[in-house]
Amino acid sequence: MTGKPSQHHINFTLRKLVKQLLPFWEGVFYVRTARYFLGRRVFIALIPAVCDTEGAHQLSGFASHSHTYFCRRCLLQIGDIHNLVPETWIMRDPAQHRQLALKWKEASTEEERQKIYDEFGIRWSELLELPYWDPVLFTIIDDMHFAQLGLFETHLRDVWQIDHEKSGGDGKPPSLSKPNLRTLKALCQDLGIHYNSGDSKRILAARILDYIWADMKRTILPTWIQSPPPNWGTPAQGKLSAEEYKIVCSISLVITLVRVWGYGTEDAQSRHFQMLLNYLDLVHAVHVLLLRETSQQSREYYVFHMQRYLETVLVLYPDFTLKPNHHFSLHVVTDLETMGPGHARSTPVFERINHSLQELNANQHLGDFCVLYHWRMFGDHSF
Query: How much of the chain is in helix, strand and coil states, percent to nearest 5?
Result: 55, 5, 40
Which residues is 42 bridged to in the sheet? 28
- 168 versus 324: smaller Cβ distance to Zn ion: 324
Residues that bind Zn ion (CB under 5 A): 71, 73-74
Q: How far is the CB of 306 from Zn ion (least distance, A)?
A: 14
Inter-residue contact 117 to 104 (CB < 8 Å): yes
> Distance between CA atoms of 239 and 72, rounded to whole angstroms?
29
Pick between residue 71 and residue 289 the one whose CB is nearest to Zn ion: 71
The three-point CA angle 86-89-90 to 5° equals: 140
Measured from the CB atom, the residue of 94 and 198 that comes closer to Zn ion is 94
Shortest reach from residue 70's CB to Zn ion, in Å: 8
State which residue, 164 or 327, has the beta carbon closest to Zn ion: 327
Tell me the CA distances in angstroms from 306 to 97, 300, 323, one per residue in order: 29, 10, 14
257 versus 339: smaller Cβ distance to Zn ion: 339
Considering beta carbons, is residue 65 or 155 the nearer one to Zn ion?
Answer: 65
Q: Is 266 exposed, middle or buried (0-12, 13-18, 19+ CB in 10 A)?
A: exposed
Which of 317, 284, 290 minimizes the C-alpha distance to 303? 284
Least Å from the CB of residue 200 to Zn ion: 33
Q: How far is the CB of 332 from Zn ion (least distance, A)?
A: 11
Give the number of residues written for the chain.
383
Q: How far is the CB of 45 from Zn ion (least distance, A)?
A: 25
- Tell me how far, at minimum, the Cβ of 312 lies from Zn ion, in Å: 20
